[in-house]
Every structure is written in structure tokens, then in C-alpha cells.
């Protein structure tokens, strides 16, 4: 990409979004959000899952219809209605490498949709030449544009995705989680390209769950929470702890009682270790991690999404196989070949992705509750109706589930009820180790309280519980011990006590990587 004539007033915004409001089937996902992008600046969009980042990007690139608000490009009002149209206005999106076509060549991937046309249709020679120029801009001129994309490494593919976005010389470049499939050195390479583009005067909108990358590359940041902009900072001036607490938000705490209850609970120090992980890890997923879970203990995993908290849970429960390290269950080495094996070892796990890995939407609530138990028994030994009723009734009242919902398809019920159904399904297998990944995400306060109470009670009954939540208050409230993760590594462990607050954890996450303090104060 050639250096262009940068406007004299470098600070004049190229894109201004004002009061953007978006609703999906009546649910307001963006509520009057503002965003300003200036040429020669990398602007980071921050926020937890569901904060509205992707929606805001969609509103900018024309994939999401805007209910209210204006988008100004060069000071003129525009209504982005399609990706093609926003591209014509100079707004380009870098797709994740998984959105490229593996069987097309590199040049085809870059030029698809805007091939150079000659008298006899597409001129592939000239198209390839343009593709080569774009490859050079992103610093991978050694890649053969005729090679099939599938032959490249993930990092190179991601750079090809950047090349695809910049080939039309956009003035605004949107990168949504561009580094999620890259390792550290690959990510560094990509960030270098982003900086170079910025220096050429491109306005970059950057979204990443990796905090350090955001701090390394961005000049300015906007923080979203619950569809609203809660802060805008210059990156150089921002306090990390403040940023993280802005992202997470401080809920009105109606649950303080549970906290003090948990604090007075204090599991017996002599408790047997139920599950022990030693240097458990998997390449590209989680660094080697040591962890002990004791009976009757709630261990919270704290960290932002992508920090490795879900990955650790999945490796501990056989959902994904570790390629290093060992798992010990009640002092015996176990190898979990899958979730079914884990269940036989009395390790039950729920996924953070309720819709895709939790609820079987087409089955009834009753079937969903007995599913894991039935799978454990095998198909040939069906649970009789009476046995099903006994199982279902055990959890119905405890979780405040409605009797008349039992024979409705689980997919018709609210998120909170579905989470309770999931919990009931796991509990029906009488687990010794219970791993809950985001069991309270996006549900109302009542359902949340039901689930938290149940978790506290389980620990009292001697179950080893892992509790993962994006809401740190919740983790602090429930956990005996908190494992803190960041950038796919365990960075420390805290014994919960009167001195431990959300800020303690936030400071741990925000601290620079150079001195990871184990903080294990027993």
C-alpha cells in the first residue's frame, strides 16, 4: 500500500458513530454507543463477552441493522447497509483466518470479489500482481500467491487475511480477534504490521481478548459494558485495574450474605485431594499447569475470556485431551479419553457454551436432566419413569424448576432455567468433582442465587467444585481458593479470606508479566 496524502488535521476523525442503538428481537444489545476513529491511530474496543463489541463492529461494516444513531464517514452521514458498500467507503474488515477459503490460492483469497478485469474477463496476471503488492505490505512477500491457502501456517493465513482487507487501500481497518489462533511470536509479527499500517495513516479498530496485545498496540480505547460505552481512554494514561473493573462492572450486590456464609465455611485443611493436575497442558491451548482440588472445596478460576480458564477446565475433565502432564484422581493416575470416561470417574463438567455444548434443545427438560445418568448406565438399562421422577424431583424444588415445564422442549425455556437443567443433569450423576464453566452467565439474579446456593451446598456435602465466571464478585463470593489465569497460563493462586476482593484479583491480572507472584499464602 502506497503512502497516501494524509489530511493536514491528522486528528480529524474518519469515522464517527454517535448514539448507535441496535436491538435483536426486542433485546437491546447496543444502547447509544459512540465511537470515534481517527487516521493514524489504533483504537481498541474493550469489553467482556456480550458487551456489544461485535455488534458495534457489525453496525460499522453494515452487517447489523441500526435502530437509531448516526454513522459519519468524513463528517458525512452514511448508512452502512452491506459489507460491499462499507468497503467502497474505505472500511475493511480483517476476517479470522478460518473465514478464508483453504482450497483457493493465496492470490484468489486476497482478490476474490475485486479481481482486476480486462477485456476478456478476469485478468489473473494483474490480479496476482496486486495480491503480491498486498502481501509485501504485510511483510510476507516470500509467500507464493499461487500456493493453496491450506499449505500456509495459521499465522501466515492470518496475515493473508490482513492482505485481503488492505488490498483496496482502506482508510479504516477493523481487526476482530486477529490473534486468537496465533502463538506469541506470531502475534507479535501481526501487531508489527498493524503498527505499520497505522503509521501509513490507516485508522485501525482493534479487538482482542489478550490484554497485553491491546496495551502493546493501541493508542486509544473505548470500553463497552452491557451495550453502553462506559469509558474512553488514551492507552498511555489508563490504569489497568481501573480498566478491568470498568469492563467487568460492579453489580449491585444483593448476595453479600452468601459471601460471609462461604467465608465462615472454611473447608477442613486436611481434606483429601480429589483431583490433582501436574503440569497439565496442551500446545496452543494452555501452558503446563499444576492444581489440586480438595473435597468440599470451591475453587474459582478467575481470568478474562481466553485467559485459559475454560481450557484448564476442559483438560481436567477429558473434554479435550492434554498432550502433557498428568491427572490424578484420589491418588490414582487416570487418563480421560473423553467426557464419558470422566463421568465414570465421577468428574462432571458443564460447558460455557450452553447452546452448543449444553442443552439438547429438542429433548424435553426431563430427558435433558436424565441424559448424562442414562448415558452412564448405557442404553440397554433405561431409567424407568419412576426412577426418572425420583431423579427429577430431587432437583426440581432445590433449583426452583417448574413442574409443568418438565415435558416441554428444553430449548423453549429461558437461559436461567436451562442453566438449572444443566446443573441438575450433572448432579444426577452424583459427581465427586464438579466443574462449572460460566453456570450463571446471562441469567437473572434469582436463578443466579439458586445456582450459587446449590454450589455452596454441594461443597458442604464434600464435592470438589470448580467455579468459573466472568463476574469476579461471584468468584470471590463463592470460592475457598481462587486460581488466577492470564494469557493461557496460571499466574497465581489466592486463598480466599477477608482481605481478598475483586480488586486483589484485578491487580494480579493487571500486573505486568515480568514478575508473576504465585501469591499462594495457604
Partner 1 sequence: MPTTTPARPRAAEGGLRRIAHHTLFWPVVALIALLAANTVYRPSFLSVTVLNGHLFGAPIDILRNSAPLMLVALGMTLVIATRGIDLSVGAVVAISGALSLSFIATSPNPGSLSTVLLAIAIALGVSLVLGVWNGFLVSVVGIQPIIATLILMTAGRGIAMLITEGQITTVTSPPFKTLGAGFWLGLPVATLVAGGVFLLVAFLTRRTALGMLVESVGINPSASRLAGVKARTIVWTVFALSGLFSGLAGLILASNVMAADANNAGLFIELDAILAVVIGGTSLQGGKFSLSGTFVGVLIITTLTLTVTIVGISPLVTPLFKALVVIAVTLLQSPRIRESFAARARQRAARPEEVSA
Binding residues (CB under 8 A) for partner 1: these are 319, 338-340, 342-344, 349-351, 356-363, 367, 371-372, 374-383, 402-404, 425, 429
* List of residues 6+ apart from 242 with CB closer than 8 A: none
Say which residue the cell 417448574 belongs to. 402
Shorter beta-carbon distance to partner 1: residue 52 or 358? 358
Q: Please name the helix (run of DSSP H) or strand (run of DSSP E) that holds residue 191, with its range, or none.
A: helix 184-199
Strand 117-118 with 68-73, pairing? unpaired
Shorter beta-carbon distance to partner 1: residue 360 or 449? 360
* Cβ at position 446, least distance to partner 1 in Å: 17
Say which residue the cell 461471584 belongs to. 474
Shorter beta-carbon distance to partner 1: residue 62 or 339? 339
Shorter beta-carbon distance to partner 1: residue 107 or 396? 396
* Cβ at position 359, least distance to partner 1 in Å: 6
* Cβ at position 372, least distance to partner 1 in Å: 4
Say which residue the cell 452424583 belongs to. 430
| Residue 347: φ, ψ to 5° | -110, 115
Cβ proximity of 159 and 181 under 8 Å: no
Q: State the Cα angle at 169 between 167 and 174, rounded to 5°.
A: 90
Shorter beta-carbon distance to partner 1: residue 400 or 453? 400
Shorter beta-carbon distance to partner 1: residue 378 or 499? 378
Shorter beta-carbon distance to partner 1: residue 116 or 341? 341
Single out the residue of 478, 496, 50 nearest to residue 253, CA to CA. Answer: 478
* Cβ at position 409, least distance to partner 1 in Å: 9
Shorter beta-carbon distance to partner 1: residue 260 or 353? 353
Say which residue the cell 443433569 belongs to. 425
Shorter beta-carbon distance to partner 1: residue 338 or 518? 338
Shorter beta-carbon distance to partner 1: residue 6 or 402? 402
Cβ proximity of 117 and 123 under 8 Å: yes
C-alpha cell at 229: 460505552
| 141 backbone φψ class: left, alpha, beta (φ>0; ψ -120 to 50) | alpha
* Cβ at position 352, least distance to partner 1 in Å: 11
DSSP label at residue 335: -
Shorter beta-carbon distance to partner 1: residue 19 or 382? 382
Beta bridge partners of 78: 71
* Cβ at position 412, least distance to partner 1 in Å: 14
Rounded CA gap, 141 and 251, in Å? 50
In 213-297, the DSSP E strands lie at 220-225, 228-234, 273-282, 286-294
* Cβ at position 357, least distance to partner 1 in Å: 5
* Cβ at position 308, least distance to partner 1 in Å: 19
Single out the residue of 309, 221, 303, 216 nearest to residue 37, CA to CA. Answer: 221
Strand 203-207 with 332-334, pairing? unpaired
**How remote is the C-alpha of 213 from its chain's centroid?**
15
Single out the residue of 76, 48, 80, 50 nearest to residue 65, CA to CA. Answer: 80
Shorter beta-carbon distance to partner 1: residue 105 or 317? 317
* Cβ at position 371, least distance to partner 1 in Å: 5
* Cβ at position 275, least distance to partner 1 in Å: 17
* Cβ at position 150, least distance to partner 1 in Å: 18
Cβ proximity of 274 and 432 under 8 Å: yes
C-alpha cell at 317: 475433565
Rounded CA gap, 28 and 248, in Å? 19
Beta sheet of 220-225, edge-to-edge order: 91-94, 172-176, 203-207, 42-46, 220-225, 228-234
* Cβ at position 354, least distance to partner 1 in Å: 9
* Cβ at position 339, least distance to partner 1 in Å: 5
Cβ proximity of 165 and 173 under 8 Å: yes
Shorter beta-carbon distance to partner 1: residue 258 or 410? 410
Rounded CA gap, 303 and 485, in Å? 5
In three-state secondary structure terms, 494 is: strand
Amino acid at each position: 500500500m502506497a503512502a497516501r496524502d494524509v489530511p493536514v488535521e491528522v486528528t480529524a476523525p474518519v469515522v464517527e458513530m454517535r448514539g448507535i442503538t441496535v436491538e435483536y428481537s426486542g433485546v437491546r444489545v447496543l444502547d447509544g454507543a459512540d465511537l470515534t476513529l481517527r487516521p493514524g491511530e489504533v483504537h481498541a474496543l474493550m469489553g467482556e463477552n456480550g458487551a456489544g463489541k461485535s455488534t458495534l463492529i457489525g453496525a460499522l461494516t453494515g452487517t447489523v441493522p441500526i435502530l437509531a444513531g448516526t454513522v459519519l464517514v468524513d463528517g458525512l452521514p452514511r448508512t452502512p447497509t452491506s459489507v460491499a458498500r462499507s468497503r467502497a467507503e474505505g472500511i475493511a474488515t480483517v476476517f479470522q483466518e478460518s473465514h478464508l477459503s483453504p482450497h483457493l490460492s493465496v492470490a484468489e483469497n486476497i482478490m476474490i470479489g475485486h479481481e482486476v478485469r480486462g477485456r476478456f474477463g478476469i485478468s489473473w496476471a494483474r490480479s496476482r500482481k496486486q495480491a503480491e503488492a498486498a502481501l509485501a505490505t504485510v511483510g510476507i512477500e516470500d509467500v507464493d500467491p499461487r500456493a493453496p491457502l491450506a499449505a500456509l501456517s495459521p499465522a501466515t493465513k492470518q496475515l493473508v487475511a490482513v492482505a485481503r482487507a488492505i488490498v483496496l487501500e482502506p482508510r479504516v481497518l477493523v481487526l476482530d480477534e486477529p490473534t486468537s489462533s496465533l502463538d506469541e511470536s506470531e502475534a507479535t509479527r501481526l501487531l508489527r504490521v498493524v503498527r505499520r499500517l497505522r503509521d501509513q495513516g490507516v485508522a485501525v479498530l482493534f479487538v482482542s481478548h489478550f490484554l497485553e496485545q491491546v496495551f502493546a498496540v493501541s493508542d486509544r480505547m473505548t470500553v463497552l459494558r452491557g451495550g453502553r460505552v462506559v469509558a474512553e481512554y488514551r492507552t498511555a494514561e489508563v490504569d489497568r485495574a481501573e480498566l478491568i473493573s470498568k469492563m467487568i462492572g460492579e453489580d449491585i450486590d444483593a448476595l453479600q450474605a452468601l459471601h460471609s456464609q462461604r467465608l465462615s465455611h472454611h473447608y477442613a485443611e486436611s481434606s483429601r485431594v480429589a483431583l490433582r493436575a501436574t503440569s497439565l497442558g496442551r500446545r496452543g491451548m494452555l501452558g503446563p499447569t499444576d492444581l489440586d482440588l480438595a473435597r468440599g472445596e470451591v475453587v474459582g478460576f478467575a481470568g478474562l475470556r481466553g485467559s485459559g480458564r475454560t481450557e484448564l477446565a476442559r483438560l481436567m475433565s477429558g473434554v479435550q485431551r492434554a498432550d502433557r502432564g498428568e491427572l490424578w484422581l484420589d491418588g490414582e493416575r487416570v487418563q480421560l479419553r473423553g467426557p464419558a470416561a470422566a463421568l465414570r470417574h465421577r468428574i462432571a463438567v458443564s460447558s460455557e457454551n450452553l447452546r452448543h455444548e449444553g442443552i439438547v434443545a429438542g429433548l424435553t427438560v426431563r430427558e435433558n436432566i436424565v441424559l448424562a445418568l442414562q448415558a452412564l448406565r448405557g442404553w440397554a438399562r433405561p431409567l424407568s419413569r419412576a426412577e426418572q421422577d425420583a431423579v427429577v424431583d430431587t432437583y426440581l424444588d432445590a433449583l426452583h424448576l417448574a413442574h409443568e415445564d418438565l415435558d416441554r422442549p428444553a430449548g423453549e425455556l429461558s437461559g436461567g432455567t436451562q442453566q438449572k437443567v444443566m446443573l441438575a443433569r450433572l448432579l444426577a450423576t452424583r459427581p465427586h468433582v464438579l466443574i462449572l464453566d460460566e453456570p450463571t452467565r446471562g441469567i437473572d439474579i434469582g436463578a443466579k442465587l439458586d445456582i450459587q446456593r446449590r454450589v455452596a451446598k454441594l461443597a458442604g456435602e464434600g464435592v470438589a467444585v470448580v467455579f468459573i465466571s466472568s463476574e469476579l464478585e461471584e468468584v470471590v463470593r463463592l470460592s475457598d481458593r481462587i486460581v488466577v489465569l492470564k494469557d493461557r497460563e496460571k499466574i497465581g493462586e489466592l486463598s480466599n479470606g477477608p482481605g481478598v476482593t475483586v480488586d486483589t484479583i484485578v491487580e494480579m491480572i493487571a500486573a505486568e508479566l515480568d514478575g508473576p507472584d504465585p501469591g499462594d499464602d495457604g
